Chain A
Amino acid sequence: MKKAKQYLEGCWHAYFGFENTKVKVMLPLYFLVCLFFVCVFVFAELLLDILREKPQEADGIDSVVVVDNVPQVGPERLEKLKNVIHKIFSKFGKITTEFYPEADGMTKGYIFLEYAAPTQALEAVKNADGYKLDKQHTFRVNLFTDFDKYMTISDEWETPEKQPFKDFGNMRHWIEDPDCRDQYSVIYEAGERTAIFSNDAKEPITAEERARWTETYVRWSPKGTYLATFHQRGIALWGGEKFKQIQRFSHQGVSLIDFSPCERYVVTFSPLMDTKEDPQAIIIWDILTGQKKRGFHCESSAHWPIFKWSHDGKFFARMTQDTLSIYETPSMGLLDKKSLKISGIKDFSWSPGDNIIAFWVPEDKDIPARVTLMQLPSRQEIRVRNLFNVVDCKLHWQRNGDYLCVKVDRTPKGTQGVVTNFEIFRMREKQVPVDVVEMKDSIIAFAWEPNGSKFAVLHGESPRINASFYHVKNNGKIELIKMFDKQQANSIFWSPQGQFMVLAGLRSMNGALAFVDTSDCTMMNIAEHYMASDVEWDPTGRYVVTSVSWWSHKVDNAYWLWTFQGRLLQKNNKDRFCQLLWRPRPPTLLSTDQIKMIKKDLKKYSKIFEQKDRLSQSKASKELVDKRRAMMEEYRRYRETAQQIYQEQKSIRLELRGGVDTDELDSNVDDWEEETIEFFINEEIIPLGDL
């Protein structure tokens, strides 16, 4: 090392020696040498660039994809086929060449497409492979080079490389809040700001707040994991502790969405994107992979969601003219490869507890109207109920699927008016017996207790609206427990845990609220939130929020927080408040036994909770007292300074008012003279008669 160093130093001195003559000659020479090397370098680079662009056989092949299962068409439909292919595949990049091999005047059923770059070809394979063009044709897309690759695959197994894991953190972070606060989303400033708050009885705690987070409104997924926001180009899903963007789905002009109950799929609807060849009005997406699973036509979105999911997410179905189409996941294909022909089908819905569909068909000449319960996937009809003189039916399932109520509007023979019956199907009993409850008035609202066997009905006509509560008993009877008359209500809101509920008179009824305990049917509290447009229970059934949305009323936009008993806790005014949605909770992880144990020991737990509450209360009042003390001190100090200046200015004031001291509030009482004056008003002579 030392020797090398010495040698280099020697060279250095040789070339840059401090002898002038040597420098004079050596330096310019050195400079020329450097310049020469630089030129060579640059030239080499340019050469390499040009060489890189030289068309190589390998390059061209990398950008080619082979598409199989393409429809075989004759020359008259070739142009149309090419347009469809072009439309689907030009999404991934610029198609530079296309080749449709033919045989006997028809296309062979597979085509070659060349893109401008290999990356685009990869995109095409990633997204279009498995694309269902129609019932008989599902595209298989592969890179041309893959054929080569797979043909020369080695017999040795090589473990594929692991993709880097995209860690979004704990997606259930909000559930771990030690004080068990639920979250809710608030849209305000007419949609400009969206915020997520944690609900605390004292005041809401901001978890996240963003401007222009969504362009219209937001939706939570059924188990609360994701928040969906709407944008012109599609929807975005956010989640985790910091609400990072989890996934993005591109669907131009999307206006409505729906989640599958298991949170595996999301369905988006856009009225803009629909053509005959390429149904894109409704798209079903896989949330975790971000893949587009299938596209569907849609004539109208009047009754969203068009696709109804079974409770476990295994099936989804939709109704079209005389047809019920049931699809299964994850293949997204029709169950048994065909739809059900049900002539005249008017409405259907899934049981929220089992894979059973209820649907009804109106009268057809001699055949009466009927409601049918069908088990899936067997398609066995487990119950059919005939109904006569039917005008309309509505299906109401109890939240656990224990009961189905069919509200039947009928015009009995020989009468003009419409009467309503409730046909109650007892789903848990053998052969599903049906009981009937007859109603005399017109029905305004109906709602099942979420996990119980009671239901509430609002009936009658304003101002004589009645609220009736019924209990579906085990002995085959349906008992009317209580009826409240002259109610100001047009909507029923049960607590998600049952037993408690709110009867509300929204919008035109000026926000009248009644809090009811249905265990003994008592009115716990009657209150009012003037012009309330919405009522939302939190997922635990502890709190109720009533709100006045800017979308329905332009003043007093706010949301109020009440306890389940009807005690008002907070009034939160928000500039142009639009919407509040509670974040749903995932199903409990506790077993029924564990829940029983907790309920038994509730006294022990409630002591601890009460202590905690008292501590936080006193802390809050102490904070408030401290805050007030500080504000008063500050104010006093200001007033003292002001008073001082005032006193100092006294001489100026005297001068301005010509020497008269007007600083004292009272006028000089000593200057006043009090005088009492009597003056004559009237004379009246009243004869007293003889004494």
Chain B
Amino acid sequence: MNVLTGSADNSCRLWDCETGKQLALLNTNSAVRTCGFDFSGNIIMFSTDKQMGYQCYLNFFDLRDPQQIEDNQPYLSIPCNDAKITSAVWGPLGEFVNAGHENGEINQFSAKSGEILKKAKEHSRQINDIQTSVDLTMFISASKDNTAKLFDSTSLEHIKTFKTERPVNSAAISPIMDHVVMGGGQEAMEVTTTSTRIGKFEARFFHAAYEEEFGRVKGHFGPINCVAFHPDGKSYSSGGEDGYVRIHYFDPQYFDFELEA
């Protein structure tokens, strides 16, 4: 069982989950923004930022070929000339990667040839985060344009939109209910007067089919940067700019709740 991490220290590392031992070190020319294993666990991908004269690249390594790791030579390296990749996830069967860009575009890159299989231009501003559903058939993209959108992983068909008044930093799909959770807020340096009230930054729950908000959880006093559901769907956690990670377990009413229809 392995863990893959990418960092702004210009490296991507592979670890053994049980022992914590570092298994591989891949140096890069610029910061690593996003990374992930495909469904089989044999192929890894990560993207590097456009920095210090270096382009943004989407790199693919096959772990079954140790030579690639030793030589630090990906079998496929896709350059991104325009807007850099900000977040990316694998498709359901490891044949492609869905990547979100700084300009709001989502491109589907083939993991074999590197060509762009499909495009989606639904967001108007930067994509902050992409997370898949538990069965990998769909994913949700969180964007600076104050919305989060649900897409089909394979066709990149735009299915739903969830609107808020603040930039959305992260969004996740519940594994057991038709719910999505979103977290966001204005960055401290972009706003002249932030709310002085404690706990103004909230995690917001939307019904996936009706696109309507049905609940909010207060508590963070800084913008929320990341949200995730527990794999069993009975709790969720959120991490924020305030330096806190909050874990909430849902009470029974959450599972019984239904909007009138």
Contact = CB atoms under 8 A, between A and B. Distances in A.
B127 interface: no
B135 A554 contact: no
A665 B232 contact: yes
Interface in B118-146: 134-135, 137-138
Nearest to B135: A646
Nearest to A632: B209
Contacts of A653: 39, 93
Nearest to A510: B196
Given A553-B193, A558-B165, A631 B39 contact: no
Interface in B195-234: 195, 208-211, 231-232
B259 interface: yes
Given A632-B261, A653-B39, A657-B40, A642 B191 contact: no
A635 interface: yes
Interface string B235-261: 000000000000000000000000111
A657 B41 contact: yes
B115 interface: no
- Main SS of chain B's interface residues? loop
A656 B39 contact: yes
Contacts of A530: 195
Contacts of A665: 134, 175, 231-232
A81 B175 CA distance: 87
Contacts of B166: 555
Q: Which of A531, A632, A643 has the most CB of B within 10 A?
A: A632
Contact of B260 (A556, A625, A635): A625
B178 interface: yes
A486 interface: no
Interface in B70-91: none
Contacts of A558: 165
B159 interface: yes
Contact of A628 (B40, B192, B261): B261
Interface in A528-567: 530-531, 553-556, 558
A58 interface: no
B165 A554 contact: no
A573 interface: yes
B152 A642 contact: yes
Nearest to A657: B40
Given A645-B137, A652-B93, A665-B231, A632 B210 contact: yes
A554 B92 CA distance: 41
B137 A642 contact: yes
Interface residues of B, number: 32
A664 to B, nearest CB: 11
Nearest to A633: B209
B103 interface: no
A556 B164 CA distance: 10
Majority secondary structure of chain A interface residues (helix, strand, loop or mixed)? helix
A669 B178 CA distance: 26
B93 A649 contact: yes
A629 interface: yes
A638 B138 CA distance: 11
B186 interface: yes
A555 B92 CA distance: 39
Interface in B173-198: 175, 178, 186, 191-193, 195
B94 interface: yes
B232 A628 contact: no
Contacts of B39: 653, 656-657
B211 A631 contact: yes
B93 A628 contact: no
Interface string A647-691: 001001100110000000110000000000000000000000000
Contacts of A636: 209
B40 A555 contact: no
B211 to A, nearest CB: 7
B261 A656 contact: no
Nearest to A638: B159
B137 A628 contact: no
B93 A656 contact: yes
A90 B260 CA distance: 72
Contacts of B232: 665-666
Given A573-B165, A656-B40, A631 B94 contact: no
B261 A649 contact: no
Contacts of B135: 646
Contacts of A621: 260
Contacts of B175: 665
Contacts of A531: 193
Contact of B165 (A556, A629, A634): A556
A635 B152 CA distance: 12
A666 B134 CA distance: 12
A629 B137 contact: no
A628 B259 contact: yes
A132 B164 CA distance: 59
Contacts of B154: 645
A428 B214 CA distance: 57
Contact of A642 (B138, B165, B208): B138
A632 B212 CA distance: 12
Given A645-B137, A652-B93, A657-B41, A635 B191 contact: no
B186 A635 contact: no
Contacts of A628: 209-210, 259-261
A623 to B, nearest CB: 12
A635 B165 contact: no
Nearest to A662: B39
B210 A631 contact: yes
Nearest to B164: A573
Nearest to B211: A631
Interface string A149-192: 00000000000000000000000000000000000000000000
A635 B137 contact: no
A632 B261 CA distance: 9
Contact of A635 (B41, B134, B208, B231): B208
Contact of B137 (A646, A656, A657): A646
Contacts of A573: 165
Interface in A493-543: 530-531
Nearest to A627: B210
Contacts of A631: 209-211
Nearest to B38: A656
B256 to A, nearest CB: 17
Contacts of A652: 93
A354 B40 CA distance: 88
A288 B42 CA distance: 81
A555 B191 contact: yes
Contacts of A554: 191-192
Given A556-B165, A653-B39, A665-B231, A635 B209 contact: yes
Contacts of A645: 137, 154
A649 B154 CA distance: 13
Contacts of A556: 165
A556 B166 CA distance: 8
Contacts of A629: 261
Interface string B16-27: 000000000000
A617 B201 CA distance: 33
Given A632-B209, A642-B152, A625 B92 contact: no
A666 B193 CA distance: 46
Given A628-B259, A635-B209, 6 more contacts: A628-B209, A635-B160, A642-B137, A649-B93, A657-B40, A657-B41
Interface of A: 530-531, 553-556, 558, 573, 621, 624-625, 628-629, 631-632, 634-636, 638, 642-643, 645-646, 649, 652-653, 656-657, 665-666
6 contacts: A555-B186, A555-B191, A629-B261, A649-B92, A652-B93, A653-B93
The 9 closest A-B pairs by CB, nearest first: A656-B40, A635-B209, A628-B261, A642-B137, A632-B209, A573-B165, A628-B210, A656-B39, A631-B209
